[in-house]
Structure 1
Amino acid sequence: MEKQRNLKKVICFGEVLWDHLPSGRKAGGAPMNVAYHLRQMGIDSCMVSCVGADVLGNELLNFMEQMKLPSHLLQITDKYQTSEVIAHISEDNEVNYDIIYPVAWDFIEWKPEYAVLLKEASAFVFGSLAARNKTSQETLFKMLEYSTFNVFDINLRAPHYDLAILEQLLTKTHLLKLNQAELSLLAENLDFSEDEDKIVPYLCEKFKIEEVIVTKGSAGASLHVGALKYSRPIYPVKVVDTVGSGDSFLAGFLAGRLQGEQSEKCLDNASALAAFVTMHAGACPPYSKQEFEYFQEKLPIVSV
């Protein structure tokens, strides 16, 4: 029987920023996107990060306040600017990012109160970007000493990652989420087969990872739990943009876990939320849980 986790609070760590998209400037950053969508699903989530003492930092704080996403754990620095990212979207809706360095979230400092929060939390969500600079990297590893269920949304953005650091983070991971391109990059760097059914069991054995989610764009997604594999096609919707779709997918999956759902239901919830978000501009469109549930109820049955 699969291990079920009664999650009560989720802490997300890493980048908060402004995405400059063809549709305009949108608040973003993978861990903040996850925290936002968890919050929209009615889950207690908060964000640990850092913004600059500047106009863009104030606007991010205002955005989080408007979206009822707690900002009390955001640090403010007058030494570095608030993060900005230039997003380029191709004709097939693939997104590439120009990520400025260094910025405020590269310098997230450890606070003793984090230890208590992490011990009480049921999940800790983090990515690889926040490990690109020594200050935030050291804080991340310190936080991993106290967290008990670690969700690694790997989010590889060249050249902002290092294989040795990735391997250290993977050894601390319980649930790994990555896309096909990231899976191929890991396979290449580890000198292993890119075949999903070979590389995923290898990762699980090598790093003692319990669950792995692989998102595949138009080909759907799969979840590996031990020797079991669950697959899920996408819901066909009219896509506005795919920015943050993977983040909403992860939030939808964790929301299912919070409700004690089985793997197939968690994947369905994740796919539905990702589809819903891609119908809107930006990674964090305004919506209510009721609006999403109404959308989900109207979705057609998709054969697995």
Structure 2
Amino acid sequence: MNQDAKLIVGLGELLWDLLPGGKQLGGAPANFAVMSARLGNHGVIASRIGRDALGDEARAVLASFPADNKFLQQDDEHATGSVSVTLKDGQPEYVIHEPVAWDFLDYSPAWADLSRRADAVCFGTLAQRHEVSRTAIRSFLQGTSGQCVRIFDVNLRTPFYHAKLLEDSLQLATIVKLNEIEMPIVMSLLGLTQNAGSDEESLLRCARLLLDKFPPQLICITMGSQGSLLVTREAHHRHHGIQTKVADTVGAGDAFTAALVHAYLRKASLALLNEAGNRWGSWVASQKGAMPMLSEETRVEIEGRIQQAQ
């Protein structure tokens, strides 16, 4: 392991997307952990799967990736998480099944030790939908050191979010990442502003309101192919995206988050954070699936382009 490697944890859901054409392994925290590992860190997947065929298959798939799955818990009573995806008039419709194994995350002694050692941990809203997993996630976050970077990847999935969940998560976060569609929803639920727009000026104003009210040090707003906006209390930086031929966007946001955190832990500038996030996000968008194969040649090429942007 690289001596510069950081211990980075993806905490929450691991699930199968059951698509019309087959199934794909995913879940934002798992996607995040895999990309973190690919960037040279000790990326850990902290989730829970069932003792079933989908659980066995998840372990088999993960074995081909560099992420550490030794902290993947096994549940004897609940099934491995899955999402049924159907197409209606060409548009995908989702059913996120419940309850499933990751609704019953357990803050075990092994997880408590992991939380104390973590340099960064990424969590979201979906895995907090059940009281059991919500308690485990909060305990994990509260068990981290004062130096640990806690990333709240908002990732709204109807109907699994509400104002109290958002408020509590914001209080625990160092970095908040959300997209331009989620920002007005979050601001409305928190009662900070009504009818907020998704234009750059409105997003900047909303980010500053969040920084005024909550502890995070950085707000990251992604805008798909239009890039991203990073906002701190002292400055902000806008990136207009990397042009790419999109295969599918699944996992692109998680790759963005992993690259941003990788750079943040190394005290990079806002401009470099934005470049790293957009480069890796656009690469995943150009590939099929959330965890596409990555050659060493491609990794070196993309890292080189990021460094050139300094």
Query: TM-score, normalized by length of structure 1?
Result: 0.90
Give, as a single letter, the amino acid of the residue that structure 1 aligns with 2:273: C
**SS where residue 161 of structure 2 aligns?**
coil
Give the 3 Å change call, closer, same or farther, for CA 28–22 of structure 1 in structure 2: same
Which residue, 220, 225, 228 being the options, matches 2:235?
228
Equivalent residue for 1:52?
50
* Whole-Å separation in 1 of the counterparts to 2:86 and 2:260: 27
Give, as a single letter, the amino acid of the residue that structure 2 aligns with 1:170: L
Give runs of aligned pairs for residues 61-76 of structure 1, distance below 5 A.
Answer: 61-76=59-74
Q: Could you tell me how far 1:104 is from its partner in structure 2? A: 0.7
Q: Indicate conservation of the 8 Å contact 2:38/2:66, yes or no.
A: no
Give runs of aligned pairs for residues 109-148 of structure 1, distance below 5 A.
Answer: 109-147=106-144, 148=148
Identity of aligned residues (%): 29
* Whole-Å separation in 2 of the counterparts to 1:95 and 1:261: 38
Q: Could you tell me how far 1:197 is from its partner in structure 2? A: 2.1
Give, as a single letter, the amino acid of the residue that structure 2 aligns with 1:276: W
Q: Indicate conservation of the 8 Å contact 2:5/2:40, yes or no.
A: no
Matched, 1:77 2:75: yes
CA-to-aligned-CA distance 1:208-263 (integer Å, 9 cap, x gap): 21101000112210100113110111111110100111101101111222444222
Equivalent residue for 1:3?
none
After TM superposition, the structure 1 stretch with the greater mean CA deviation from structure 2, 30-39 or 218-227, is 218-227
Q: Could you tell me how far 1:89 is from its partner in structure 2? A: 7.6
* Whole-Å separation in 2 of the counterparts to 1:88 and 1:273: 28
Give, as a single letter, the amino acid of the residue that structure 1 aligns with 2:178: L
Give the 3 Å change call, closer, same or farther, for CA 97–246 of structure 1 in structure 2: farther
RMSD of aligned residue pairs (Cα, Å): 2.3
CA-to-aligned-CA distance 1:24-58 (integer Å, 9 cap, x gap): 31110000000001111111110111001000000
Q: Indicate conservation of the 8 Å contact 2:42/2:68, yes or no.
A: no
Matched, 1:291 2:295: no
Give runs of aligned pairs for residues 58-207 of structure 1, distance below 5 A.
Answer: 58-87=56-85, 97-147=94-144, 148-191=148-191, 192-193=193-194, 194=196, 195-207=202-214
Matched, 1:215 2:222: yes
Q: Indicate conservation of the 8 Å contact 2:177/2:257, yes or no.
A: yes
How many residues of Structure 1 are paired with residues of Structure 2 in the alignment?
295
- Gaps of at least 5 residues in structure 1 are 1-5
After TM superposition, the structure 1 stretch with the greater mean CA deviation from structure 2, 150-159 or 289-298, is 289-298
Equivalent residue for 1:271?
278
